[in-house]
Homo-oligomer: A and B are copies of this chain.
Amino acid sequence: MNNKDSQGDAGIPDVFKELSEQELDEFIGSGRQNAVKSGNVLFVQGDPADRCYLVKQGRLKLSRVNEDGKEVTIRYISKGEITAVITVIKKSEYSVTARAMEDTLVVAWEQSVFLKLMKRFPGITVNILTMVLTRLDDLQDRYSELCTEQVEQRIALTLLRFIRTSGTRRSDGICINIPLSRQDLAEYIGTTLFTVSRTLSDWKKRGWIKSEQKRLIITDPHAVVSFAEKI
Protein backbone atom coordinates (compact mmCIF):
# COMPACT_ATOMS: atom_id res chain seq x y z
CA MET A 1 0.00 0.00 0.00
CA ASN A 2 1.31 3.36 -0.99
CA ASN A 3 0.32 6.07 1.42
CA LYS A 4 2.08 8.89 -0.34
CA ASP A 5 -0.05 8.37 -3.43
CA SER A 6 2.82 8.14 -5.90
CA GLN A 7 3.95 11.64 -5.14
CA GLY A 8 6.38 12.93 -2.57
CA ASP A 9 4.43 14.67 0.13
CA ALA A 10 6.54 17.75 -0.46
CA GLY A 11 4.73 17.87 -3.78
CA ILE A 12 7.77 16.93 -5.86
CA PRO A 13 7.00 14.23 -8.39
CA ASP A 14 9.43 11.30 -8.35
CA VAL A 15 10.78 12.05 -11.77
CA PHE A 16 11.91 15.52 -10.72
CA LYS A 17 13.38 14.56 -7.39
CA GLU A 18 16.73 16.23 -8.07
CA LEU A 19 15.08 19.61 -8.41
CA SER A 20 14.68 21.93 -5.45
CA GLU A 21 11.17 23.13 -4.82
CA GLN A 22 12.11 26.43 -6.34
CA GLU A 23 13.60 24.88 -9.48
CA LEU A 24 10.52 22.71 -9.84
CA ASP A 25 8.19 25.67 -9.51
CA GLU A 26 10.18 27.48 -12.13
CA PHE A 27 10.09 24.52 -14.50
CA ILE A 28 6.39 23.97 -13.97
CA GLY A 29 5.89 27.64 -14.65
CA SER A 30 7.65 27.18 -17.98
CA GLY A 31 5.05 24.61 -19.05
CA ARG A 32 1.56 25.26 -20.30
CA GLN A 33 -1.28 24.57 -17.86
CA ASN A 34 -4.28 22.74 -19.23
CA ALA A 35 -7.56 21.85 -17.52
CA VAL A 36 -9.34 18.80 -18.91
CA LYS A 37 -12.95 18.13 -17.98
CA SER A 38 -13.87 14.66 -16.81
CA GLY A 39 -14.43 12.40 -19.78
CA ASN A 40 -12.59 14.63 -22.21
CA VAL A 41 -9.60 13.59 -24.22
CA LEU A 42 -6.13 15.06 -23.78
CA PHE A 43 -4.45 13.36 -26.71
CA VAL A 44 -5.45 10.65 -29.13
CA GLN A 45 -3.66 7.55 -30.34
CA GLY A 46 -2.07 8.50 -33.66
CA ASP A 47 -1.77 12.21 -32.92
CA PRO A 48 1.70 13.62 -33.51
CA ALA A 49 3.45 13.31 -30.15
CA ASP A 50 4.60 16.86 -29.60
CA ARG A 51 4.53 17.28 -25.83
CA CYS A 52 4.63 15.37 -22.58
CA TYR A 53 2.44 15.91 -19.52
CA LEU A 54 2.59 16.05 -15.76
CA VAL A 55 -0.70 15.40 -13.94
CA LYS A 56 -1.04 18.08 -11.26
CA GLN A 57 -4.55 17.15 -10.18
CA GLY A 58 -6.98 14.43 -11.13
CA ARG A 59 -6.41 11.26 -13.10
CA LEU A 60 -5.91 10.13 -16.69
CA LYS A 61 -6.73 6.83 -18.31
CA LEU A 62 -4.43 5.64 -21.09
CA SER A 63 -6.19 3.32 -23.47
CA ARG A 64 -6.14 1.81 -26.90
CA VAL A 65 -9.11 1.34 -29.11
CA ASN A 66 -9.01 -1.49 -31.62
CA GLU A 67 -10.63 -1.49 -35.07
CA ASP A 68 -14.00 -2.68 -33.79
CA GLY A 69 -14.18 -0.04 -31.09
CA LYS A 70 -13.26 -2.13 -28.08
CA GLU A 71 -11.31 -0.12 -25.55
CA VAL A 72 -8.46 -1.55 -23.49
CA THR A 73 -7.00 0.33 -20.55
CA ILE A 74 -3.23 0.37 -20.60
CA ARG A 75 -2.80 2.22 -17.33
CA TYR A 76 -3.99 5.05 -15.12
CA ILE A 77 -1.87 8.15 -14.59
CA SER A 78 -2.32 9.75 -11.19
CA LYS A 79 -1.36 13.02 -9.63
CA GLY A 80 2.39 13.52 -9.70
CA GLU A 81 3.04 11.14 -12.59
CA ILE A 82 4.13 12.08 -16.06
CA THR A 83 3.08 10.53 -19.33
CA ALA A 84 3.88 10.65 -23.04
CA VAL A 85 7.59 10.50 -22.30
CA ILE A 86 8.06 9.18 -25.79
CA THR A 87 8.01 12.79 -26.98
CA VAL A 88 11.12 13.50 -24.98
CA ILE A 89 13.28 11.16 -26.94
CA LYS A 90 11.87 11.08 -30.43
CA LYS A 91 9.38 12.60 -32.79
CA SER A 92 6.63 10.08 -33.14
CA GLU A 93 2.95 9.44 -32.53
CA TYR A 94 1.08 8.78 -29.33
CA SER A 95 0.48 5.06 -29.15
CA VAL A 96 -2.45 5.50 -26.74
CA THR A 97 -5.36 7.82 -26.04
CA ALA A 98 -5.42 9.80 -22.79
CA ARG A 99 -8.81 10.60 -21.28
CA ALA A 100 -9.54 12.40 -18.01
CA MET A 101 -11.40 10.21 -15.49
CA GLU A 102 -12.24 13.25 -13.36
CA ASP A 103 -11.60 16.95 -13.81
CA THR A 104 -7.88 17.00 -14.37
CA LEU A 105 -5.14 19.59 -14.43
CA VAL A 106 -1.99 18.93 -16.42
CA VAL A 107 1.17 20.79 -17.32
CA ALA A 108 2.53 20.27 -20.80
CA TRP A 109 6.07 20.79 -22.08
CA GLU A 110 7.37 20.65 -25.58
CA GLN A 111 10.17 18.31 -26.41
CA SER A 112 12.86 21.00 -26.61
CA VAL A 113 12.06 22.41 -23.17
CA PHE A 114 12.14 19.02 -21.55
CA LEU A 115 15.38 18.14 -23.30
CA LYS A 116 17.00 21.28 -21.94
CA LEU A 117 15.98 20.26 -18.42
CA MET A 118 17.41 16.78 -18.92
CA LYS A 119 20.66 18.32 -20.07
CA ARG A 120 20.86 20.42 -16.91
CA PHE A 121 19.86 17.56 -14.61
CA PRO A 122 21.13 14.32 -16.12
CA GLY A 123 19.62 12.37 -13.25
CA ILE A 124 16.18 13.02 -14.69
CA THR A 125 16.88 10.77 -17.67
CA VAL A 126 17.69 7.99 -15.24
CA ASN A 127 14.51 8.72 -13.28
CA ILE A 128 12.49 8.48 -16.44
CA LEU A 129 14.20 5.23 -17.35
CA THR A 130 13.36 3.90 -13.90
CA MET A 131 9.75 4.92 -14.35
CA VAL A 132 9.45 3.32 -17.77
CA LEU A 133 11.05 0.12 -16.53
CA THR A 134 8.58 0.00 -13.66
CA ARG A 135 5.68 0.42 -16.07
CA LEU A 136 7.10 -2.26 -18.36
CA ASP A 137 7.40 -4.58 -15.40
CA ASP A 138 3.83 -3.89 -14.39
CA LEU A 139 2.55 -4.62 -17.87
CA GLN A 140 4.60 -7.82 -18.09
CA ASP A 141 2.88 -8.88 -14.92
CA ARG A 142 -0.55 -8.15 -16.26
CA TYR A 143 0.30 -9.74 -19.59
CA SER A 144 1.23 -13.04 -18.02
CA GLU A 145 -1.79 -12.93 -15.74
CA LEU A 146 -3.99 -12.43 -18.78
CA CYS A 147 -2.38 -15.47 -20.39
CA THR A 148 -2.53 -17.84 -17.45
CA GLU A 149 -5.18 -16.83 -14.93
CA GLN A 150 -8.90 -16.96 -15.30
CA VAL A 151 -11.12 -13.95 -14.95
CA GLU A 152 -12.01 -14.15 -11.26
CA GLN A 153 -8.38 -14.54 -10.27
CA ARG A 154 -7.45 -11.61 -12.47
CA ILE A 155 -10.12 -9.48 -10.84
CA ALA A 156 -8.70 -10.30 -7.42
CA LEU A 157 -5.14 -9.65 -8.55
CA THR A 158 -6.24 -6.33 -10.00
CA LEU A 159 -7.88 -5.21 -6.78
CA LEU A 160 -4.67 -6.09 -4.96
CA ARG A 161 -2.67 -4.14 -7.50
CA PHE A 162 -4.85 -1.07 -6.97
CA ILE A 163 -4.52 -1.49 -3.22
CA ARG A 164 -0.76 -1.38 -3.63
CA THR A 165 -0.69 1.72 -5.82
CA SER A 166 -3.57 3.72 -4.42
CA GLY A 167 -5.12 2.07 -1.43
CA THR A 168 -5.59 3.69 1.97
CA ARG A 169 -6.44 1.93 5.19
CA ARG A 170 -9.76 2.81 6.79
CA SER A 171 -11.58 1.50 9.83
CA ASP A 172 -13.76 -0.76 7.68
CA GLY A 173 -11.08 -2.01 5.29
CA ILE A 174 -8.84 -0.76 2.52
CA CYS A 175 -10.24 1.81 0.16
CA ILE A 176 -9.18 2.09 -3.47
CA ASN A 177 -8.84 5.79 -4.18
CA ILE A 178 -9.63 5.58 -7.84
CA PRO A 179 -13.25 5.87 -8.87
CA LEU A 180 -13.83 2.79 -11.01
CA SER A 181 -17.04 1.66 -12.63
CA ARG A 182 -17.58 -2.02 -13.46
CA GLN A 183 -16.91 -1.05 -17.05
CA ASP A 184 -13.62 0.62 -16.09
CA LEU A 185 -12.52 -2.50 -14.28
CA ALA A 186 -13.55 -4.71 -17.19
CA GLU A 187 -11.51 -2.66 -19.64
CA TYR A 188 -8.52 -2.78 -17.36
CA ILE A 189 -8.72 -6.52 -16.75
CA GLY A 190 -9.68 -7.67 -20.20
CA THR A 191 -13.17 -8.97 -19.57
CA THR A 192 -16.77 -7.74 -19.68
CA LEU A 193 -18.67 -5.60 -17.24
CA PHE A 194 -21.09 -8.50 -16.73
CA THR A 195 -18.42 -10.83 -15.47
CA VAL A 196 -16.99 -8.13 -13.21
CA SER A 197 -20.42 -7.32 -11.83
CA ARG A 198 -21.28 -10.95 -11.18
CA THR A 199 -17.98 -11.56 -9.44
CA LEU A 200 -18.08 -8.46 -7.27
CA SER A 201 -21.71 -9.12 -6.30
CA ASP A 202 -20.66 -12.54 -5.18
CA TRP A 203 -17.77 -11.17 -3.12
CA LYS A 204 -20.03 -8.54 -1.64
CA LYS A 205 -22.37 -11.30 -0.45
CA ARG A 206 -19.39 -13.06 1.11
CA GLY A 207 -18.36 -9.87 2.87
CA TRP A 208 -15.00 -9.51 1.10
CA ILE A 209 -15.75 -6.10 -0.37
CA LYS A 210 -18.30 -3.34 -0.43
CA SER A 211 -18.78 -0.43 -2.77
CA GLU A 212 -19.91 3.13 -2.29
CA GLN A 213 -20.83 4.55 -5.66
CA LYS A 214 -17.55 4.19 -7.61
CA ARG A 215 -15.36 3.64 -4.55
CA LEU A 216 -14.37 0.09 -3.75
CA ILE A 217 -13.57 -0.97 -0.19
CA ILE A 218 -11.87 -4.27 0.43
CA THR A 219 -13.23 -5.36 3.78
CA ASP A 220 -11.47 -8.72 3.84
CA PRO A 221 -8.13 -8.31 2.04
CA HIS A 222 -6.92 -11.62 3.34
CA ALA A 223 -9.74 -13.48 1.64
CA VAL A 224 -9.01 -11.70 -1.62
CA VAL A 225 -5.31 -12.58 -1.41
CA SER A 226 -6.10 -16.23 -0.74
CA PHE A 227 -8.51 -16.29 -3.63
CA ALA A 228 -6.02 -14.64 -5.98
CA GLU A 229 -3.43 -17.25 -5.09
CA LYS A 230 -5.94 -20.08 -5.43
CA ILE A 231 -5.38 -21.26 -1.89
Binding site for B on A (CB under 8 A): 64, 66-68, 70, 72, 74, 85-86, 89-90, 95-96, 122, 125-126, 128-130, 132-133, 135-137, 139-149, 190, 229-230
Considering residues A90, A130, A143, which has the most beta carbons from chain B within 10 angstroms of its beta carbon?
A: A143
What are the residues of chain B within 8 A of A137 when measuring CB–CB? 86, 95
Q: Is the interface of A mostly helix, strand, loop or mixed?
A: helix
CB of B86 within 8 A of CB of A148, answer no
CB of A74 within 8 A of CB of B125, answer no
CB of B67 within 8 A of CB of A133, answer no
CB of A170 to closest CB in B, whole Å? 30
Closest 7 CB pairs of A and B: A147-B190, A72-B144, A70-B148, A72-B147, A64-B144, A66-B148, A136-B136
What are the residues of chain B within 8 A of A67 when measuring CB–CB? 229-230
The complex places the Cα of A126 from the Cα of B118 at a distance, in Å, of 10
The complex places the Cα of A7 from the Cα of B132 at a distance, in Å, of 23
What are 28 inter-chain pairs, A to B, with CB distance below 8 A? A64-B140, A64-B144, A66-B144, A66-B145, A66-B148, A67-B229, A70-B147, A70-B148, A72-B144, A72-B147, A74-B140, A74-B144, A86-B133, A89-B126, A89-B130, A89-B133, A90-B130, A95-B137, A95-B140, A122-B122, A125-B126, A128-B129, A129-B129, A129-B132, A139-B139, A139-B140, A143-B143, A146-B146
The complex places the Cα of A90 from the Cα of B14 at a distance, in Å, of 15
CB of A185 to closest CB in B, whole Å? 13
The complex places the Cα of A50 from the Cα of B130 at a distance, in Å, of 16
What are the residues of chain B within 8 A of A68 when measuring CB–CB? 148, 230
CB of A156 to closest CB in B, whole Å? 13
What are the residues of chain B within 8 A of A86 when measuring CB–CB? 133, 137
CB of B147 within 8 A of CB of A85, answer no
The complex places the Cα of A190 from the Cα of B142 at a distance, in Å, of 12
